[in-house]
Amino acid sequence: MPKPKTVVPSFHSERAEAAWWEKHRADVEAGLRAAMRDCKTAPPREVITKGHKRKLLPAALRLTGEDLDAARKIAEDRGIAYEAYIKLLANED
């Protein structure tokens, strides 16, 4: 009998989110591997642009070395590319 899908809940803090991911990492990774094996994952470009009505355009930012280092460290801690992390910050409401 197949294992039920792991549902990611809403979190009240980053600390609670980090604890949940640490506890459920193996299950989530196993589910992702199974989805990839069954070709049930979306291409990265589709995921990145999903929800965007307008075409995305490149932009250049000038950051201090300290700010860039901080963004890289935070992104690494969250397991994402630093460019994606900066883009998330730019899109916050």
For the chain, first and last CA: distance in Å?
A: 43
Angle 77-33-80 from CA coordinates, rounded to 5°: 20
Domain segments of the chain as ranges: 1-41, 53-93
86 has pLDDT over 60: yes
| The model's pTM | 0.43
The answer to which of 8-12, 26-30, 55-59 has the lowest mean pLDDT is: 55-59
Continuous segment of H or E residues that includes residue 17: helix 14-37
pLDDT (tens digit per residue) in 55-81: 667 888 899 999 999 999 999 988 888
Which pLDDT does position 73 carry in this prediction?
Answer: 93
2 has pLDDT over 70: no
